[in-house]
Amino acid sequence: EEPTVTEAPVPKKKKAKKAKKSKRAKEASPDSACASSKTEKSPKEKLSARERAFQGLAPYFAGKSKASKLRNIPLGTSIESYLEDYFTYIFCPEGTTKMQENAVTKLSRAKVFIKFLLLGSDSDASWNWEFLNNIPLLKSYPTVLRNFGLLPTTISLYLGQAVTFMEYFRATPPPHSRLHRKHSKLVILELRKLCRDVGRTVLGHQLMTKQKKVSKLVSKEDLRLCQVLARAKIPSARGH
C-alpha cells in the first residue's frame, strides 16, 4: 500500500479580501470622516493664544535690524490708517531729532502691543478692534516680552506706550470700532497694574545693577592707602 500524503489546508483569501474591503468602507464612511475631523485640529487650535502670539512676534525680535522690523509690522489697512493719526498725535515736528526718533520708537512699541493681541485672537476680524479686549492674554504680555530677551526697564517702556495708545484710543475711537468704552477702560487698568508689577522688578533690577557697578569701584580705604603710599614714594622718585 502506498502511504497517503496529507496536504496543508489552503488559506481562504476571499474572507481576508472581504475584511479589507469592509475596513476601507468603514474608513471612507461619513461617520468615520466626522470622527477623524473632530480629533484632528488645525494648527491654530492646537496652540494656545499666548503661544500663537509668541511665535508670531518671534521673527520681529530675532536677528539684526530689530528696529526696522518692528516699524514695518503688518497690521492691516484699517489699523495702519488709524496708527497714522496716532503717529501725528505723538510726533513733534518742532522737536529735536531725538524727540522725533522717540516718536517713531513709540509707534513701533504700539504696533507690537496691537500685533500681540491680534495674534492671540480667535477672531479673524480686526477692523472692529474687539481683539483688544483680551485681559487673560494681556496678563502674559510682560512674560512674552521677557522671553524675547528684553530687560525689565525696556518691558516697562513697552507697557507705558501701550497705556498711551489705549488712552488715545479711548478718547478718539476709530469709526468702525465695536469696542465699548468700559472695555477700553478695563484694558487701561490692566496695563497700569502690569506697569506697577513690572516696576517692582525694575527696582530690583536697578539695585542689582548698582551693586555690580559699586563692586567694581575702588573703595575709599584703598584710595587713601594709595595716596599715602604715593606720598611716600614721590621723594624717592624725584631723586631726593
Q: Is the pTM of this model over 0.85?
A: no
DSSP string, 49-92: HHHHHHHHHHHHHSSS-HHHHHHT----HHHHHHHHHHHHHH--
In whole angstroms, give the CA distance from residue 118 to residue 145.
Answer: 15
Residue whose C-alpha cell is 484694558: 187
At residue 179, the pLDDT reads 94
∠ CA(72), CA(75), CA(79), 5° rounding? Answer: 115
**Domain ranges in the chain?**
49-220
pLDDT by residue for the chain (240 residues), tens digit each? 445 555 555 555 555 555 555 555 554 554 554 444 444 545 555 889 999 999 999 999 998 888 999 999 999 999 999 999 999 999 988 889 999 999 999 999 999 999 999 999 988 778 899 999 999 999 999 999 999 999 999 999 999 999 999 999 999 999 999 999 999 999 999 999 999 999 887 655 455 555 556 556 667 777 777 887 787 777 777 665
